[in-house]
C-alpha cells in the first residue's frame, strides 16, 4: 500500500513494510540524484582559472560583479580582528550568551576526539608509530545573505581549532555590503584568524590557489550553493575538502508514546530547511501515524516557513508502518539516515543494533534541533545514505597522520630478508636490492 | 643553477636552495597534472550504466571481451575459498613464510589504530558520545597481470579486517585466465571473504551497484589503471573510495654519511615503479650528491628495469643542495612527500619539525622498501603533496562514527532555551519550536 494520506490536510506517502513491493517503494522514496549542471561547471572552471592566473584582481572583480560591493582592492575585503570583536557588542546579550554556551559545549565534546601520536619499540630496537599533526591552514566557507548560519561557523571552526590548526581563514560573501553580525560574532567566539568578505567559486579558488592577499589553505570546509560545491569538487586534490552534502534528512523511530505534536514539529524542523529535505517517521502503531498526521495538519498553518515545509513533506516525506521496533531499526539501517531520533521509552536497548546513522538522538527529550545548535556533537553529518561509510565532521578531519618507521640494524637485517623475497616475487628488483643492502653480511655492509 | 648533471651517465636535475629562483624551479619539478581523458570518461560512463542496468550479464560480457576469458555466467568468475587455500601450497615455502611474517606485522601495527566508542555523562544526566562501527562490506580492487602485487592485497585487506568489516570482497582480473598464485595466497592469509576474477570499470560498477552475484559494498579501495580510477571517481557518493593516487614519490634527506650505493638503490626503488615516479635527494653536501650520481651511473646498468628507472630519473628526479638539515626539513615540508627517508645520524632530532609526509623512514637502515612490504605500517600513502591534508590508509578508513546525544529532561529544558535563541536568530522557527516543546513549563508539557 503506497497511498498518499490526503484527507483535508497535507498529503504524506505511506509505506507498510509487510507489503511485497516495500523494498522498491522505499528505494523510490530515497532516490536522490543531484543533477550535474553542465553550464555551472563551465562557469566555475572559468572562475577558477581566472583567479589562479590573476589572483586578487580577479577576486575583486568577481566580488564587485556578483555581490554588488564597491571595493577596488582586496585589502578592502578583509574584516579585521577589531571589527570581529565589535560584533559581540552588536548582538543581544541573550544571543551572545547562547553562542558562548553552544561554543563551550561544542569545544568540550570535540576535545574528546583529539588523537595523540603513538609509537612502540620492538625487542630488537625497531620503533614503529604514528605521528599526528594538525593541518597548517584551513579555509572555512560560510554562505552569505539569508542562509547565513552562525551555528555553522561554530560547528566548522571549533573542531579545526581544537585540532590545532594554526590559521583558520573564513570567507563569507556580503551581498550589497550587508554583514551578518551573528556570523561575525560566531567567528570571534570560535577563534577564526582572518575573515574575507568574498564568496562563490572565486572564494574557493582564492583559498585553494592563494592570492597575494589570501593565503593558500590545505583544506576547505563548509556549506555553499551549487557554484561553491562544484568549485570544491574541482579543487579537490589541490586541497582537501569535506563532504559535499545532499539535502538534509531526519528519520524518527517512535513507539507511539511521544506527544504527536512534538514529532510533527521535529519533522518540520527538517522540512523547513528546503523543499528537498526529507522527513521519515517509522512506527508499528498505525493509529499513532494518523495522530502525527493530524498534528501536522493542525500545526502547519502556524509555521512561518509553511510553504517550504509543505513542499518538503508532500514531495519527500514518508510514514512507514512496521511490525515492531526491531524491524524499525532494520529499515533505518537500510536508509542510513543523517539524523536518527529514537523517540522510544528505552533507546539504549536499540542502540547496539544501529549500524548506520550520522547522529543518534536518544529518547523523547532529545529533539534533533538541540543537536543542531548546542548539544556538543557536530551538526555537519553524512547525508543520502553516506553514513554507511562516513562520519560527522570532527577534529579528525583537521589532523593527519604520518607513519613512523625506524629500523634497528638487527631489525633491518631480518626484515630485509622478508622484503627481498616479496619484492622479487613482484619483479621489483630495485626494491629487493635496496632491502638486501641492509642485510648483515651482504655486499653493502 | 638548474643544470642537468649529464657527464657520461644519467642526467639529473640539480637545484640549489640559495638560488633566487629556487621556489619557481622547485614548483616546476613538482608539477604534476593528471590529464583528464575525455574518451576514457565516456567509455567508463557507458560501462557503469550498462552494469547498473544489466548486472551479471554485462559484467560477464565485458570480462569475455576485455580479459579474454571464456566464462558464460558470473558463477564461473568466482574463486571459491578452497581454491584460495590451495594457493598456499602452490607458492614456495619461503614465499609463504614471507607473506605470513609481513601479514603478522601489518596486523599488529594496524591493531593500534582501532578506535573505541566513548561517551560521558553530564551532571544533569545528559549523555554525549561517539559510537564507532565498522563498515558492513568493503570491495578491494587488485590489478591483474604484470602489476599484480600481493603486498597490496595485504596492505588493503588487513586494515579492513582489523576494523571489523564483516565481508571483504576482492576483485582481480585474470587476463586470458592467468591467475597469480601469490595474490591469491595473500588474499587467503589476509582473510578476504570472496574473490571474483573481474576487473576494470565493470568490476568497480559491480561492487558499487551490486549484481545478482556480486554484493554491493559500502566502500571500494585499491589501486588500478586510468579506467579503474575514473570509475571510482564516478561511483564516489554511492560508495566511499580511498584516495586516487598519483605517481609514487620518495624524498631522501641525507647528511652525506650513508653509503651512496644504498641511497642510489633507494632512489631506484621508487623510480622502477613507472616513468612518472619521482625521486628527490636533498643534502647540504655537494660532493655527496656527486657520489650518489656516480653510484647511479654505476648501478643503473645492472638493473632489470633500467629503462623505466632512467626515464623516471631523467624526467622527474632532482638533487637539491641546501645549507643545512634544518633547511632540508623546510624544503621537505614544502613538498609534503609520500615517502620521506631521513638518512641521517640522528633522525629523532629532525622528527618534531616534520609536518607533512605520508611515511617517515628514520635512519640509514630504514630503506623505504622495508616499509613497502613488511615493516607494519601501510604502504598506501598520500601522493603529490596531499600529505598536507591526508593520511596513510588505515583501520580508521574502514570504521565510521555516529554521534550519540541523549538529553535528560533537565538537560533538554536548559539547552532548549539556548537552541531556541540561536534558531530564532537564524529564522528557523520550526527548529526553535521543536526545542521549546522540551522546555519545562512550556505549552507542550
What share of chain B in percent tops pLDDT 70?
A: 96
Distance from the B406 Cα atom to the nearest Cα atom in chain A, whole angstroms: 5
Q: Of residues B110, B339, B356, B379, which has the active-site annotation?
A: B339
pLDDT of residue B31: 87
Tens of pLDDT, residues A254-275? 999 999 999 999 999 999 999 9
Please tell me whether residues A191 and A213 are part of one structural domain: yes
Please tell me whether residues B218 and B258 are part of one structural domain: no
Which chain B residues are Cβ-neighbours of A303 within 8 angstroms? 429-430
Task: Please indicate, yes or no, if residue B398 is contained in any of the structural domains.
Answer: no
Please tell me whether residues B155 and B175 are part of one structural domain: yes
Task: Please indicate, yes or no, if residue A20 is contained in any of the structural domains.
Answer: yes
Q: Is the pLDDT of residue B4 over 80?
A: no
- C-alpha A189 chain-centroid distance: 20
Residue position matching grid coordinates 547522529:
A359
Do A370 and B438 make contact, defined as CB atoms within 8 angstroms? yes
Known catalytic residue at A339: yes
Task: Please indicate, yes or no, if residue A150 is contained in any of the structural domains.
Answer: yes
Which chain A residues are Cβ-neighbours of B49 within 8 angstroms? none
Please tell me the distance from the alpha carbon of residue B85 to that of residue B401, in angstroms, as a whole number: 34
Give the confidence band of A1 by pLDDT, cuts at 50, 70, 90. very low
Task: Please indicate, yes or no, if residue A226 is contained in any of the structural domains.
Answer: yes
Q: Is the pLDDT of residue B3 over 60?
A: no
Most confident of A255-264, B30-39, B232-241: A255-264
Cα-based angle B358, B339, A394 (whole degrees, multiple of 5):
5
Task: Please indicate, yes or no, if residue B402 is contained in any of the structural domains.
Answer: no
Q: Is the pLDDT of residue A8 over 70?
A: no
Do A430 and B262 make contact, defined as CB atoms within 8 angstroms? no
- Number of domains forming the structure of chain A: 3
Query: What's the order of all strands across the beta sheet hosting A118-121?
Result: A118-121, A127-134, A399-406, B359-362, B339-343, B249-254, B278-283, B318-321, B12-16, B3-5
When pLDDT is averaged across residues B86-99 and rounded to a whole number, the result is 97
Distance from the A61 Cα atom to the nearest Cα atom in chain B, whole angstroms: 27
Do B362 and A411 make contact, defined as CB atoms within 8 angstroms? no
Q: Coil, strand, or helix at residue B134?
A: strand
Last residue of a domain, one of B241, B274, B299: B241
Give the confidence band of B246 by pLDDT, cuts at 50, 70, 90. confident
Nearest CB neighbour to B362, from listed A309, A357, A404: A404
Chain A residue closest in CA terms to B333: A136
Nearest CB neighbour to B362, from listed A273, A406, A435: A406
Q: Is the pLDDT of residue B6 over 60?
A: no
Task: Please indicate, yes or no, if residue B412 is contained in any of the structural domains.
Answer: yes
Q: Coil, strand, or helix at residue B139?
A: strand
Q: Of residues B234, B272, B321, B338, which has the active-site annotation?
A: B338
Please tell me whether residues B276 and B214 are part of one structural domain: no
Do B151 and A422 make contact, defined as CB atoms within 8 angstroms? yes
Q: Which of A13-17, A29-33, A223-227, A423-427 has the lowest mean pLDDT?
A: A29-33
Do B390 and A400 make contact, defined as CB atoms within 8 angstroms? yes
Taken in order A246, A360, B391, B193, is the CA torsion positive or negative?
Answer: negative
Please tell me whether residues A266 and A343 are part of one structural domain: yes
Please tell me whether residues B286 and B145 are part of one structural domain: no
Tens of pLDDT, residues A57-110? 999 999 999 999 999 999 999 999 999 999 999 999 999 999 999 999 999 999
Give the confidence band of B209 by pLDDT, cuts at 50, 70, 90. very high
Nearest CB neighbour to A272, from listed B366, B430, B444: B430
Nearest CB neighbour to A401, from listed B391, B422, B425: B391
Could you tell me the end-to-end alpha-carbon distance of chain B, in angstroms, rounded to an integer?
A: 78
What's the mean per-residue pLDDT of chain B?
94
Please tell me whether residues B298 and B157 are part of one structural domain: no
Chain A residue closest in CA terms to B379: A403
Q: Of residues A249, A272, A338, A341, which has the active-site annotation?
A: A338
Q: Coil, strand, or helix at residue B127?
A: strand
Please tell me the distance from the alpha carbon of residue A98 to that of residue A383, in angstroms, as a whole number: 27
Q: Which of A7-21, A406-420, B405-419 has the lowest mean pLDDT?
A: A7-21
- C-alpha A385 chain-centroid distance: 13
Please tell me whether residues A235 and A265 are part of one structural domain: no
Q: Coil, strand, or helix at residue B319?
A: strand
- The verdict on whether residue B339 carries a ligand-binding annotation is yes
Which chain A residues are Cβ-neighbours of B292 within 8 angstroms? none
Q: Tell me the C-alpha to C-alpha distance, in Å, between residue A375 and each of A93, A369, A378, B416.
A: 20, 9, 9, 10
The residues pairing with B78 across neighbouring beta strands, listed in sequence order, are B196
**At A270, phi and psi to the nearest 5?**
-85, -45
Tens of pLDDT, residues A234-253? 999 899 999 878 889 999 99
Q: Coil, strand, or helix at residue A278?
A: strand
The burial class, CB within 10 Å (0-12 / 13-18 / 19+), for A268 is buried
Q: Coil, strand, or helix at residue B443?
A: coil
Which chain B residues are Cβ-neighbours of A237 within 8 angstroms? 244, 384, 386
Q: Is the pLDDT of residue A3 over 80?
A: no
Do B365 and A237 make contact, defined as CB atoms within 8 angstroms? no
Known catalytic residue at B338: yes
Tens of pLDDT, residues A302-353? 999 999 999 999 999 999 999 999 999 999 999 999 999 999 999 999 999 9
Please tell me the distance from the alpha carbon of residue A210 to that of residue A216, in angstroms, as a whole number: 4
Do A403 and B359 make contact, defined as CB atoms within 8 angstroms? yes
Please tell me the distance from the alpha carbon of residue B292 to that of residue B289, in angstroms, as a whole number: 5
Asked if B184 contacts B79 with a C-beta cutoff of 8 angstroms, the reply is yes
Please tell me whether residues A195 and A213 are part of one structural domain: yes
**At B57, phi and psi to the nearest 5?**
-55, -45
Task: Please indicate, yes or no, if residue A338 is contained in any of the structural domains.
Answer: yes
The residues pairing with A221 across neighbouring beta strands, listed in sequence order, are A140
Do A269 and B434 make contact, defined as CB atoms within 8 angstroms? yes
Please tell me whether residues A366 and A265 are part of one structural domain: yes
Do B133 and A355 make contact, defined as CB atoms within 8 angstroms? yes
pLDDT of residue B1: 43
Q: Coil, strand, or helix at residue A445?
A: coil
Residue position matching grid coordinates 522498491:
A24
Please tell me whether residues A342 and A444 are part of one structural domain: no
Please tell me the distance from the alpha carbon of residue A428 to that of residue B274, in angstroms, as a whole number: 11
Q: Tell me the C-alpha to C-alpha distance, in Å, between residue B75 and each of B137, B143, B208.
A: 20, 20, 18
Taken in order B182, B186, B189, B194, is the CA torsion positive or negative?
Answer: negative
- The verdict on whether residue B431 carries a ligand-binding annotation is yes
CB atoms within 10 A of CB B439: 18
ipTM for this prediction: 0.94
Q: Of residues A110, A284, A339, A356, which has the active-site annotation?
A: A339
Last residue of a domain, one of A213, A241, A269: A241
Which chain B residues are Cβ-neighbours of A271 within 8 angstroms? 430
pLDDT of residue A2: 47
- Residue A287, domain extent: 3-34+246-375
Q: Tell me the C-alpha to C-alpha distance, in Å, between residue B287 and each of A10, B12, B324.
A: 82, 15, 14
Which chain A residues are Cβ-neighbours of B371 within 8 angstroms? 403, 405
Which chain B residues are Cβ-neighbours of A360 within 8 angstroms? 131, 402-405
Please tell me whether residues B230 and B255 are part of one structural domain: no
Last residue of a domain, one of A226, A241, A256: A241
Task: Please indicate, yes or no, if residue A7 is contained in any of the structural domains.
Answer: yes
**Residue A337 sits in a domain of what CATH number?**
3.40.50.1980
Amino acid at each position: 500500500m503506497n497511498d498518499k494520506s490526503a484527507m483535508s490536510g497535507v498529503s504524506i506517502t505511506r509505506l507498510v513494510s509487510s507489503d511485497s513491493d516495500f523494498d522498491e517503494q522505499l528505494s523510490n522514496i530515497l532516490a536522490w540524484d543531484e543533477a550535474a549542471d553542465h553550464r555551472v561547471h563551465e562557469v566555475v572552471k572559468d572562475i577558477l582559472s581566472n583567479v589562479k592566473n590573476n589572483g586578487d584582481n580577479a577576486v575583486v572583480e568577481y566580488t564587485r560583479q556578483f555581490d554588488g560591493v564597491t571595493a577596488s582592492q582586496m585589502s578592502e575585503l578583509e574584516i579585521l580582528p577589531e571589527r570581529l570583536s565589535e560584533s559581540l557588542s552588536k548582538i543581544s546579550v541573550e544571543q551572545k550568551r547562547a553562542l558562548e554556551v553552544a561554543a563551550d559545549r561544542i569545544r568540550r565534546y570535540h576535545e574528546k576526539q583529539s588523537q595523540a601520536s603513538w609509537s612502540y619499540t620492538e625487542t630488537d630496537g625497531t620503533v614503529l608509530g604514528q605521528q599526528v599533526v594538525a593541518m597548517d591552514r584551513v579555509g572555512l566557507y560560510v554562505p552569505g545573505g539569508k542562509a547565513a548560519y552562525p551555528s555553522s561557523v561554530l560547528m566548522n571552526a571549533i573542531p579545526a581549532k581544537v585540532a590545532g590548526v594554526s590559521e583558520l581563514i573564513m570567507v563569507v560573501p556580503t551581498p550589497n555590503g550587508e554583514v551578518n553580525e551573528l556570523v561575525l560574532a560566531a567567528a570571534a567566539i570560535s577563534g577564526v584568524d582572518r575573515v574575507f568578505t568574498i564568496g562563490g567559486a572565486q572564494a574557493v579558488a582564492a583559498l585553494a590557489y592563494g592570492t597575494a592577499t589570501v593565503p593558500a589553505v590545505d583544506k576547505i570546509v563548509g556549506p555553499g550553493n551549487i557554484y561553491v560545491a562544484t568549485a570544491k569538487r574541482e579543487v579537490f586534490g589541490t586541497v582537501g575538502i569535506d563532504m559535499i552534502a545532499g539535502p538534509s534528512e531526519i528519520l524518527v523511530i517512535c513507539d507511539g508514546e511521544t506527544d504527536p505534536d512534538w514529532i510533527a514539529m521535529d519533522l518540520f524542523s527538517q522540512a523547513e530547511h528546503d523543499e528537498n529535505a526529507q522527513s521519515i517517521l517509522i512506527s508499528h502503531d498505525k493509529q499513532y501515524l494518523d495522530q502525527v498526521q493530524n498534528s501536522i495538519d493542525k500545526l502547519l498553518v502556524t509555521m512561518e516557513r509553511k510553504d517550504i515545509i509543505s513542499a518538503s513533506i508532500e514531495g519527500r516525506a514518508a510514514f512507514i508502518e512496521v511490525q515492531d521496533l526491531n524491524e524499525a531499526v532494520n529499515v533505518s539501517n537500510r536508509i542510513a539516515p543523517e539524523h536518527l531520533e529514537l523517540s522510544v521509552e528505552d533507546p539504549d536497548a536499540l542502540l547496539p543494533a544501529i549500524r548506520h546513522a550520522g547522529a543518534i538522538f536518544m529518547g523523547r527529550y532529545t529533539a534533533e534541533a538541540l543537536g543542531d545548535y548546542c548539544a556538543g556533537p557536530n551538526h555537519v553529518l553524512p547525508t543520502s545514505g553516506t553514513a554507511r561509510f562516513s562520519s560527522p565532521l570532527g577534529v579528525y578531519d583537521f589532523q593527519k597522520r604520518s607513519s613512523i618507521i625506524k629500523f634497528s640494524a638487527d631489525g633491518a637485517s631480518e626484515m630485509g630478508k622478508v622484503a627481498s623475497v616479496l619484492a622479487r616475487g613482484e619483479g621489483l628488483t630495485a626494491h629487493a636490492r635496496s632491502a638486501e643492502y641492509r642485510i648483515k653480511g651482504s655486499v653493502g655492509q
